[in-house]
Structure formats: structure tokens, C-alpha cells
Chains A and B, each alone.
Chain A
Amino acid sequence: MCEAITEDGIENQPVKLAKTVRETGQKCVKCDNPGILITRIDDSFCKDCFQIYVIHKFRAAIGKTKLIRCGEQVIVAFSGGANSAALLHLIEHGKSERAHRKLRFVPTLIHVDECGILDITPDERKANRCQVIDLMKASGFPAYLTCLEQVLVMGGDETSSSVKHQPTDHPLARDVTEPQVWMVKPDSDGTDMPLPSTSQTERLKTLVNKIASLTGAQDLVRQLRNQLLVATARNLCITKVLTAESSTRMAVEILADVAQGRGSQVSLNTGFSDTRNGDVMIIRPVRDLNSKDLAMFNKLFNVKSVFIPTKASKTSLSSTIEKLTETFVMGLQADFPSTVSNIKRTSEKLGLANTETCPKCCLCMSPLDTRTGPSSALKAIEFSQKMSRSHPTEKKPTGGGDNCCRDKGDNSFQNNLMDCLCYGCRLSLHNYGDDLRRLPTFVRQRAVHMTQLDDIKQHISDFLLDEDNR
């Protein structure tokens, strides 16, 4: 397939790692002590220098961006997994007396219990919770617990105060409350935290299981979790959320995002800071360390983590796009050690088109990427679907690109809601059919709001001067 070479035909290709047998007993590159592990391609470190290296990478990422102010409250999203355990340890270390310069921010931990979507017994669910709670308590920081079921009741507005401004007789405002969190008390062992009601858990399960593909289900859970974290932070009046994605994780996510039609969101989903949610910012402070660094760090410094299964656990390596991508990236990384950093560097050059004027997706809050011109992948696939479902009587030579648009007359709620979602979220929910009504209230609330705004804009469009404002 030589035709497939890019337009100029020149391809600088990453270089394959030469397999060499490494000598044992290499010295640490920083001091003369014997090295105990190898980071990056061929640098060996001793335990102390490795610790300095990891801490430096974490502190430098926070220091360089100057996003977190002195004394500011931040939320640390704590899943219990290896990456977030390492992040928690780094923060603990930075706050301790041993630290060279103390970290100035004030952390609060939050764990989102996602076990509601799994088929496990309430006792198993409680056991999982207890393990995470033990780790959170050990840190001594204030800690909260919430559960994914809360997305069903939370509201969708940017500031929690405006939830109250909604007229109470509005059908969507009736069952909206603020997302609940439970404080972890120092003497609690986790068993005193109430589990969500069975009916709520069932509702969440149907919501997720309605999606036929595991890829879509995982994607929906990710979006819901992010929205819940943001809403919870807002509720606690904290405007920064720290999450613990490693560079390896980032690289996988970048590629998986591209593969799931979320190319325009790569810079939001994987940058150091994510500003899509307006007042609450997501920050990723360990994105300069790879998963091997963090795993070695946990091993060497006895950082404990727990394993909590997800829906994709114990499935095949190609069960979801994310897992397939992970296998692909890890495989390449073994032979081409620059893979992860190459992918990350690509994402660092990507930005956002126009965040201000663009309406946002009602589920993931990223700028809508579906208002494309007539010549686009989205219109092409819509046209293909129309072509393979139309009746022969309609078979006459088609005109320009304008005929392909969705039937304007069909104003059903479902089409409206689909219109308020970005390309990626549409993909995940595409086989939802009529059940889009079952989406959490906050999504529907945002959709109603957006449609109203569009209607108003249409109403006054003749008087708007700026083209961009229309």
C-alpha cells in the first residue's frame, strides 16, 4: 500500500529500541550509589534520587502553572487505585514536616463509589468502600464519600444557587437536589455510610446497561463521574479538582479520544488543566510521570492502593476501544520508547477553537463539535445512513449538500436532545432510542435550557449584528 504515504511522502518514523543487554550494577546517574531501577530509556537511579525525581516532577507541574493559589482548598479525586494512591502520598509528603518546601494548598479527599453499576452484593460493595476509606483516613486529610447514583438527582446548572432560581413547578426542577456527600469521620470504618437505595442503584444500572457497547457504557460512566465530581466540588465551594492520570494513561486517552470522535476535546480531556466546567477546574498534577514511575514509587515507598473492578475488568483485551488502545500503546511503547511522549506532545499543541461563543455538550460540557459545514464526516455518515434506508421511489439524483440535513420538521424531544450532545456523546448513546428520556435530570435540564436559548436567539437573530453571535 505505498499509495497510502502522506502527501509529501516523507515520514519521520519513531525509532525502534535497540535490544541491548543491560549491565547490572549500573551507578545512579545523580550520585555514586548503586542504581536500583531504570527510568526513561537508560537512566538508573538509586532509591533516594528516584524519590527526588518523582517529587520534583509533581512539584514542578504544580509550580510551573501557578494555578493553585497559596492556602487554596482543593479536592483530590481518590479512586483508591495505584495512580491516585501515589498522588495522595505525594501530597502527604509535601504537606509533612520533611518536605523541603511545604505544599501550600489544603486538600480534601473525595471518593466516588461506582460499584452501583457492577453486579455485586451490597456486602461486597461495602467491603470495597471500607478499603478505600481506610486509605483516606490514614492520610489524615478531611475525606468525603459520594456515589455515582447521585448523578440521577443533581441539577445541571453552573452555580448551585441558580438551581433554586428555577421555578419549582417546572417538571425538571421538582426532583433536583444538590449531590450528597458523606463525611468520613475519623472513627468510622465505612460501615456507617448509607448505601444508595436499591431503586436508585437499579435506575443507574439500567441507564448504563441500556448502552449495548461496553465502550459506550464506559464512556458514559466517565462523563457522569466527571460531572459528579465537578458538582460536588461546587457544592463544597471548592474550585479545583486534582485527578491522578499518569502520562501513560494520558497517551492512551488521547488516542482513544481520537478513535471515539472526541478529537476536538483532546486538549480538555488530557491537558494539565481542564476549564470546560467554568467555575470548577480539573487539574492533572502527575501527568508528567509515567505509569511505571508511579508503580515503582508505590512499590519502593510502600504506598498502599486497592483494586476496585470496573465493568471492563476481566473482559478481553479488545472488549472496549479504551482497552484495545491501551494494548496498542503499551505494545508500541515496549519497542519504541518515545511513543507515550510523542503522543503527549501532540496533545500539547492542540487547543480549542472558540470556547466562548460555542454552545456546550449537555453531558460532557465540552464545546459542541457537531455544527459542521456540509462537507464533513458527520454529514457524510448521516447521508450514508439516509441513502441505505431510503425507499427506491426517492431514488433520484441528489442535489447539493443541503438536502442531507436532518428532517427539520421532526421536532421530537429525542432529536432535540441528540442535537444538544457532542459527537462523542452521541456515539456512546446512539442506540438509546426513545430512552433518552431516562438520561439523568441534569442532562435534560441543560438540554431544555440550551433549546430555549437557541429559540430566543432565533427570535432576535435579525437584530444581531455580529456574524459570530448568530
Chain B
Amino acid sequence: MPRKCGGCDKNAILKRPKTGDALCKECFFWAFEEEIHHTIESAKLFSPGETVAIGASGGKDSTVLAHTMKILNERHGYGLNLILLSVDEGITGYRDDSLETVKRNQQQYDLPLTIVSYEELYGWTMDAIVKQIGLKNNCTFCGVFRRQALDRGAMKLGANKIVTGHNADDIAETVIMNVLRGDIARLQRCTAITTGTEGYLPRCKPFKYTYEKEIVMYAYFKKLDYFSTECIYSPNAYRGFARAYIKDLEKIRPSSIIDIIHSGESLSVKKDVRMPTQTVCTRCNFISSNDVCKACVMLEGLNKGRPRLGIGKLHKERRKWEEELEEQSKILSNGDGTTPLCCGGGKCGADGGGECGTDEGGECGTDSGGCKN
């Protein structure tokens, strides 16, 4: 006896992961789209006439996002000018393939596409960065650079807002991560639907309440063209624990994902807790919680052969660097003929700071986003 759809009289073909209700294909599409519309309307994400850049990676989330944004823009008359914006991190065998998907999407959805690359913005591809730093912490570089790259690309295009495909699972995972790391500042802002409003490009997450499983279902039944390969560089291991925990929770109680987001939304921080203040980077004029933003510090490290400068405690790495330089000059001035420890640039940094970061675990919550020095 086939189960009937909860919305009409047809036979249901799926059970919604979010509510457990049985629905037919059409009712599911309708509910999925209207829920995103509800999220957009109730949070007042857009105003008519705005140009909105859709962060498109070619993966399932951003593909479905581009698709639904286009549908809703037409159905509900948002009056938005939608554009696709991709970031080319320069990862051979991964991003070049997924960008092909985005290019196909451009034609399928008839939306203009712009690609900004790490190479043109920073002079470094991820492939080159990984050669320097290895497979540990490389995701940190990629994440920091991507945030800025999206902003820069969107500004270049004259966009008013950026939308990203972060889904409910991603947000729940981030809440758990921030509890585990004691990062109160991020814990507070990670559930906001729009971030970065002060003079900079706001970023919105219309999929904030959309389950990852339902996005996959939607893409599957709509036969959307997306790219589903994991990045070839090792995924973030610690985040993997949080991800596995969320998946296990969902098995016990499917509403857990929304419950965690509710927890994140409703918790409040004690008034006397010191929070990082937002300023502007003195080098690139971008938004930053320190005098020099993380991207600039990381770039400096890369360009001077000390790639670990942007990871872990800044002052510790700097001190180490200075000590090494001092030692070097001592050796050189003594002129005792021993080979200098360091060639003065290039490769030496890659193995010099292997241990730094071991002490950050206990302290990282007090001064999120790098240290104050």
C-alpha cells in the first residue's frame, strides 16, 4: 500500500528528512522552494533592484542555490539582478573540473558568470601554496583567501550582496565546532543569516534552514547538473568529527539540525566577555579584527618563505623568525666558515616552524581571529 502525499492525493515518493512527512515530487519541490522564499522574506534579505552575486562552486549547494534563486526571483518578482561568481583557487584536478560545471550552469540558467582566481589576486595558486606548506593547514589558507576573493570579485561586479550555499547542516556543524573550540565570538555570529553589514558587502545564507539531504534530493529529482567530488587536498580533519556527530544526531532525532541552530540563535553572551573589535586592515583596507588582516599576514608569510606565519600564534612565529635571523647574522659575522643554517628565503620556512600551533588549542577562544600583538 503506497503512502499518500501529505499535500495532495498522489502517491508519495519520498519522506522529507526535515519533517518526516511523505510527499510527492511536485509537493516536495513546492515546499522546498517556498520555504526558501519564506526564509528570504522573513529575514528581509533583499530589496528590489539589487545586484546579487551567487557564490558558485559547481557543487550541489551552489547549483541548487542558483537554480532556486532564479525560480524565486521570477515567481515572486524580487526584481534582483542575479550573477554567478566563482573563485578559482588553482587546484588542478578539482577546481578546473568543477568550473566546467559552473560554465554549463551559466548557459542552463542564463546567468552571467565571472571567475576570479587566487593567482590574479594574490599571485599564488593553491597548488603552489600546498607545495610550500604541505597538506596540513592548507585549508586555512584557502578559506581565508576565498572569503576575500568572493568579496573582491563581487565588488568589482558592482554587486550589493553575496549569497552562499551554506546549508543548515553546515551551520549546525559550525555551532558545534565553535562550542568545542571555545570560540565565543564566532559562536555568536555563526548563526546570523546575514553577516558583514558594516559598510562591506553583506553575505546571506538563504539555505540556512534547508537540510543538506533535501538539497541533494532536490538536485536528484530535478536532475540538476552538479559536480560532486571532494577537494583533492585533505579535508579539514577536526571538522570531520563535528560532521560525523551531526549525522549521528540526525539519525537519533531528525530535527536535531534545526534544534542546534535554535540553540545557536537563542544563546546570549555574558556582558563582561571581551569580544574582538572590527577594524580595517592597514595594508589592504579590508575588514579585519586586527591591524593587519589574516590574508595579508598569510601572503607576507608565503612571499617571504615563512608560510606558517599566518597559522597559529603570530608573535611566536615572528619571534622564532627573528631568533633565526639573529643567529644567522651571528654566524655570518663570526665568519667561522660553517654553512649558514638558512638560505635567507625560499624553502627554509616550510620546515622551520613544524611545531608552532601545538599550544594554541587551549587558548584559541580568547582571541579569535589571530592574536593581538
Contacts and interface: CB of A to CB of B under 8 A. Distances in A.
Contacts of B59: 3
Interface size class of A (residues with CB under 8 A): 35 or more
Contacts of B268: 264, 350-353
Nearest to B179: A346
Interface string A168-189: 0000000000000000000000
17 contacts: A3-B170, A8-B369, A9-B146, A258-B176, A258-B179, A263-B260, A321-B252, A346-B180, A375-B42, A377-B258, A377-B265, A380-B38, A381-B18, A381-B19, A384-B16, A395-B30, A423-B262
B8 interface: yes
B139 interface: yes
Contact of B21 (A328, A388, A392, A398): A388
Contacts of A383: 35, 38
B301 interface: no
Interface stretch (A118-126, A158-166, A281-289, A337-345): A337-345
Given A324-B248, A339-B180, A400-B42, A15 B369 contact: no
Interface in B204-255: 208-209, 230-231, 235-236, 238-239, 241, 243, 245, 248-249, 251-253, 255
Given A345-B182, A377-B209, A9 B231 contact: no
Interface stretch (B101-109, B332-340, B341-349, B360-368): B360-368
A264 B263 contact: yes
Interface in B246-287: 248-249, 251-253, 255-256, 258-271, 273
Contacts of A213: 252-253
A254 B30 CA distance: 37
A336 B360 CA distance: 12
Given A375-B39, A398-B38, A263 B239 contact: no
A5 interface: yes
Contact of A321 (B142, B166, B182, B253): B253
A361 interface: no
A375 B142 contact: no
Contacts of A343: 179-180, 182
B359 interface: yes
Contacts of B369: 8, 10
Contacts of B270: 267, 349-351
A324 B251 CA distance: 11
Interface string B137-176: 0011011111100000000000000001110001001111
Given A324-B252, A372-B266, A384-B19, A261 B147 contact: no
A257 B264 CA distance: 11
Contacts of A381: 18-19, 209, 255, 258
Q: Which of A259, A336, A353 has the most CB of B within 10 A?
A: A259
A400 B190 contact: no
A261 B360 contact: no
Interface in A120-171: none
A306 interface: no
A255 B263 CA distance: 10
Contacts of B196: 7
